[in-house]
């Protein structure tokens, strides 16, 4: 065996191994989001007249379990396979001037209406039992959302686990 024959093969093996290590590090450090919800009953005096029958609300949690940051942009209500309604995670207030004309409105940039989640951060979104704009789709007819999902700026969808049962519990509440 000649040194001239061994060196190119050794360089090839080293480069393949370093490529595989880099690819594994990129795969391991990607952003991963876990999204789930819980139904919570609000027992505070200012929210409920009857403390024996407190109103429920749905808490939707998004947790980044990966190493890279992720930007969540919208929460969507699922109606059917072909239709859903979305709204921004952070509702920016629209400011009106003295004549009733909007002077400042939402820019639509993701850093204004979206949420950045770094490694291990948690975001919570609440839907009240009487917030009908977030429970019903109003177009040609009024339709109850079947479940919820979140989207990021790349268009990836993250299903909210337990949202179907949560919507059912919110709808069963009688004041």
- Per-residue b or e along 108-142, where b marks 16 or more CB atoms closer than 10 Å to that residue's CB: eeeeebbbebeeeeebebebebeeeebbbbeeeee
Task: Give me the pLDDT at residue 107, please.
Answer: 52
Mean pLDDT for the chain overall: 82
As a whole number, mean pLDDT of residues 137-158 equals: 86
Task: Give me the pLDDT at residue 10, please.
Answer: 93
From the CB of residue 15, how many other CB atoms can be counted at a distance below 10 Å? 10
- SS3 call for 129: coil
Task: Give me the pLDDT at residue 102, please.
Answer: 57
As a whole number, mean pLDDT of residues 57-70 equals: 90
Residue-level length of the chain: 175
Separation CA 9–CA 2 (nearest Å): 12
Q: For the segment 81-116, what is each residue's pLDDT rounded down to a tens digit?
A: 888 888 877 765 555 667 766 555 455 555 566 788
Which letter does DSSP use for residue 111 in this model? H
Which letter does DSSP use for residue 29 in this model? T
Out of 31-35, 148-152, 162-166, 171-175, which region has the weakest mean confidence (pLDDT)?
A: 171-175
Q: For the segment 28-60, what is each residue's pLDDT rounded down to a tens digit?
A: 888 889 999 999 887 665 555 566 778 888 999
Its pTM stands at: 0.73
């Amino acid at each position: 065996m000649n040194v001239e024959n061994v060196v190119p093969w050794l360089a090839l093996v080293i480069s393949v191994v370093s490529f595989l290590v880099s690819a594994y590090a990129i795969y391991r450090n990607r952003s991963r989001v876990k999204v789930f919800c819980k139904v919570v009953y609000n027992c505070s005096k200012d929210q409920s007249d009857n403390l024996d029958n407190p109103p429920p609300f749905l808490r939707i949690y998004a947790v980044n379990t990966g190493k890279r940051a992720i930007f969540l942009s919208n929460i969507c209500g699922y109606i059917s396979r072909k239709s859903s309604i979305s709204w921004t995670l952070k509702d920016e207030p629209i400011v009106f001037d003295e004549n009733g004309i909007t002077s400042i409105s939402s820019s639509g940039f993701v850093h204004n209406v979206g949420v950045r989640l770094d490694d291990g951060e948690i975001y919570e979104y609440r839907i009240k039992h009487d917030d009908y704009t977030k429970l019903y789709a109003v177009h040609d007819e009024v339709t109850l959302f079947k479940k919820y999902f979140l989207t990021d700026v790349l268009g990836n969808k993250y299903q909210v686990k337990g949202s179907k049962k949560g919507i059912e519990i919110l709808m069963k509440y009688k004041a």
